Structure 1
């Protein structure tokens, strides 16, 4: 007995919605008996939460930090004023629009060294039936929608050269011993399933052999909880790595690199508490006791690219080298308010 409800979305062909896009559909609901309704409200909601729990060695205590955001909170009142609705089936059409520059949906729950991370960004359509009376509760129905990434390029879409130089300490020689790495990335903004093309060079101006050069693509998450330093997580992406042969002392090796980006990897922007970025890491592996030489090349990945007029380009290789030239959604809102206070909680196990 009561209200039965079904929320149907008019989905885009790929099933995902993007920033600035319309979210529309039809709600079908039915009553099996007469019911007094005070207000019917259809809403589009978008909220995000971050919970970061840090374990400390001191008495095994845990500190919890949080952050939250509201990305969209739009209500449309479909009926207002107390009326008695007879039994039957009813339909309501709704039409909302997502704001520009909202982050995509995400669900991240992992334990990493020292931390437990719970991060969620979700969007949903909700219908709320408010009923009169002190001891009656509003009835909610919701349907989550998937919001996909749009990216605004922060990196150059033209070729850029990155570089790294490391001077080794070697005994019994007065000649400088350096490993010089250069990488020319043709486009730093890559579509889903696209290809990262890099022309790299490693110059071994030492009297030791470089064991190998490792090239791999990595995913990096940055979590920003209120009252706590940023937490970065680096993860290798399977099937996006390769190695080269050794480089003899005094030799130079040129390596063209093509990495096909998995279609499920996209950058995450437009959130204050989480970002998801990608790098190509090139590592010259040196024998012990020397430290490896590492060059990280940032890339952005996404299908819907919003072009912008001006880029702040990274320094060229020569500049870098210094060489001149509610159990319902009320609970979401309350959690958002609590997190914005920035309180730090301390718990005992």
Structure 2
């Protein structure tokens, strides 16, 4: 007996949706001979899970959590409410489906200690035998439009710091670092033009500047309550040396690869933030100075002249999400139909080129069938994130750049 199942999405070959959109598609069952079942059930679910262990005093302690965002059950054939048997005849059978996504869904993510996952699953239910499961993962993106999130993302950002080396009579004059960004919000595919001004009043040279874009993932557990942070470098660049007692200004481009958008509010179990790190190495002293500046990674870029990007729906009053990690919702959100909601992410011909959808190279691939004993088809799944082919912002170091002061705050602490 050979049964195959394909789950496809309408007008969306990437299987990538924004929160609030309608997920519609078709389930295709192919049988080489008649097959007896009680029901064919389609489940569309979204959830986050975290799980890790830590060793302490010779023993290992397990931390875990789960949070649900979406649960939709549709019987395509039969029902589990009765014991009637149904026969799926040999041949090809198509079943259409549709499911509304809540507006406050966090973005899909597969990480080392947890995931935010959305799947469509077809179950061939047979109480007299094991059920057969066919699963298709799809990507859901938080709609983070940099044009509307906060006005500060458009403004130039500035940060500076001083450091002296050694102490007492050997104490050096200060080494000053200034960082300048033309804006605080970016999208994958752009480059961050980082202007670094090094005022080196010390008697030793800065041998090298190291720049990196870091993704910080904070995982929370519920049983027991705990958290940990994973630090992932997603992009690197280097700058030249700076001679002793001299000043030098360098602009270095830091590329942004495919990566999940910033999300620190919608999930109570997994939060994602980004920061730019610039390190000045003083090798002769075997020391360094580190500067950190937070940046925001979005899904819709800041508008530039002549470019328009189609924007999916922005918010809903139907689901505001749990109040806090310690106050999970008592039941899953119910979202009413919203009428005309775009399901195709492709902009119209008058808009800018649509983004490509690519896997993130610095995150994990997940096993979307890990909860099923009798799963068929592909187990591995990796979310796809939009990568734009648009101009990167022009580096700006204006006379009043100091007025755009920036207070460093550590996401880790």
Q: What's 1:266 paired with? A: 260
Task: Write the mapping of 1:282-297 to structure 2, written as runs, cut at 5 A.
Answer: 282-287=278-283, 291-297=287-293
The answer to whether the 8 A contact 1:25-1:93 is kept is: yes
Supply the distance in 1 between the matched residues of 2:370 and 2:219 (Cα, whole angstroms): 26
Supply the distance in 2 between the matched residues of 1:93 and 1:123 (Cα, whole angstroms): 19
Quote how far apart the aligned CAs of 1:4 are. 5.1
TM-score by length of 2: 0.61
1:205-246 per-position Cα deviation (integer Å, ceiling 9, x unaligned): 3344333332222333222223465322333335x3112212
Q: What's 2:65 paired with? A: 67
1:314-344 per-position Cα deviation (integer Å, ceiling 9, x unaligned): xxxxxxxxxxxx975699xxxxxxxxxxxxx
Name the larger-Rg structure.
Answer: 1
The answer to whether the 8 A contact 1:267-1:278 is kept is: no
Task: Write the mapping of 1:225-304 to structure 2, written as runs, cut at 5 A.
Answer: 225-226=221-222, 227=224, 229-237=226-234, 240-249=236-245, 251-262=246-257, 264-269=258-263, 270-287=266-283, 291-304=287-300
Asked if 1:51 is matched to 2:51, the reply is yes
Give 5+ residue unaligned stretches, structure 1.
110-117, 309-325, 332-349
Supply the distance in 1 between the matched residues of 2:144 and 2:107 (Cα, whole angstroms): 10
The answer to whether the 8 A contact 1:224-1:273 is kept is: yes
1:286–1:229 CA distance, 2 compared to 1 (3 A): farther
The answer to whether the 8 A contact 1:21-1:98 is kept is: yes
Asked if 1:120 is matched to 2:115, the reply is yes
Supply the distance in 2 between the matched residues of 1:327 and 1:196 (Cα, whole angstroms): 38
Task: Write the mapping of 1:89-108 to structure 2, written as runs, cut at 5 A.
Answer: 89=91, 90-108=93-111
TM-score by length of 1: 0.71
Q: What's 1:25 paired with? A: 25
Cα-Cα RMSD: 3.4
Q: What's 1:156 paired with? A: 153
Asked if 1:143 is matched to 2:139, the reply is no
Which of the pair is proportionally richer in strand?
A: 1
1:268-325 per-position Cα deviation (integer Å, ceiling 9, x unaligned): 52332223333221112235657422111222223336899xxxxxxxxxxxxxxxxx
1:85–1:215 CA distance, 2 compared to 1 (3 A): closer
1:217–1:247 CA distance, 2 compared to 1 (3 A): farther
The answer to whether the 8 A contact 2:261-2:299 is kept is: no
Quote how far apart the aligned CAs of 1:149 are. 5.3
Supply the distance in 2 between the matched residues of 1:83 and 1:267 (Cα, whole angstroms): 46
Supply the distance in 2 between the matched residues of 1:245 and 1:18 (Cα, whole angstroms): 44
1:207–1:170 CA distance, 2 compared to 1 (3 A): farther
1:247–1:327 CA distance, 2 compared to 1 (3 A): closer
The answer to whether the 8 A contact 1:18-1:149 is kept is: yes
Q: What's 1:42 paired with? A: 42
The answer to whether the 8 A contact 1:149-1:304 is kept is: no
Q: How many residues align?
A: 297
Give 5+ residue unaligned stretches, structure 2.
302-310, 315-368, 375-413
1:35–1:229 CA distance, 2 compared to 1 (3 A): closer
1:165–1:20 CA distance, 2 compared to 1 (3 A): same
Supply the distance in 1 between the matched residues of 2:13 and 2:28 (Cα, whole angstroms): 22
- SS of residue matched to 2:105: coil
Quote how far apart the aligned CAs of 1:75 are. 2.1
